[in-house]
């Protein structure tokens, strides 16, 4: 029994392994030159092959991945990570961790900042005395 191998586009693969949230975002990244194969820009319609190494820039980080299997449909993260090998250099990962520690998201930390309703009442009660 011969196995029929379908062609798999880069944009669909990057969406399926959860690098990008939507397939449209993946194809836009390809169009803008944020996806590279061996240092050259890749079109969204290019076929993916096992063993290819891609360099991908997303809003959050830079990825270097090696294709270890072809994934045609989007699956949960725990399954998706089995279809690529993250070969991002250690210095890039360290840079990301440093940025994350110094980056402020705008969300307030728990128990810090604006008082809760109970705390406000306690303060008002204290000031009224």
Is the confidence at residue 2, as pLDDT, over 70?
A: no
**pLDDT tens-digit map of 35-94:** 999 899 999 999 999 999 999 998 888 899 999 999 999 999 999 999 999 998 888 777
What pLDDT was estimated at residue 106? 58
What is the rounded average pLDDT for all residues in the chain?
85
Closest to 48 measured CA to CA, from 11, 21, 17 = 11
**Across 10-14, 71-75, 95-99, least confident range:** 95-99
For residues 74-104, one letter each, b for 16 or more C-beta atoms within 10 angstroms of the residue's C-beta and e for the rest, the string is eeeeeeeeebbeeeeeeeeeeeeeeeeeeee
- 66 within domain boundaries: yes
Is the confidence at residue 19, as pLDDT, over 50?
A: yes
The domain in which residue 57 lies consists of 1-92
CATH number at residue 18: 3.10.290.10
- 57 within domain boundaries: yes
- 126 within domain boundaries: no
- 127 within domain boundaries: no
Please list, in sequence order, all residues whose beta carbon lies within 8 angstroms of the beta carbon of residue 47, skipping any fewer than 6 positions away.
7, 8, 9, 10
Predicted TM-score (pTM) of the model is: 0.70
Closest to 18 measured CA to CA, from 69, 82, 81 = 81
- 103 within domain boundaries: no
Number of domains in the chain: 1
- 124 within domain boundaries: no
- Please report which residue ranges of 1-129 form alpha helices under DSSP H: 10-16, 23-31, 77-80, 90-102, 117-128
């Amino acid at each position: 029994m011969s196995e029929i191998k379908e062609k798999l586009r880069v944009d669909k693969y990057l969406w399926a392994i959860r690098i990008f949230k939507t397939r449209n975002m993946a194809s836009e990244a390809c169009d803008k030159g944020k996806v590279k194969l061996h240092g050259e820009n890749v079109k969204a319609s290019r076929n993916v092959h096992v063993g290819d190494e891609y360099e991908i820039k997303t809003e959050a980080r830079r990825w270097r991945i090696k294709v270890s299997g072809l994934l045609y449909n989007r699956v949960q993260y725990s399954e998706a990570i089995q279809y690529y090998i993250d070969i991002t250099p250690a210095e890039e990962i360290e840079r990301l961790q440093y940025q994350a520690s110094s980056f402020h998201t705008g969300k307030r930390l728990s128990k810090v900042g604006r008082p809760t309703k109970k705390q406000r009442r306690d303060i008002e009660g204290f000031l009224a005395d």
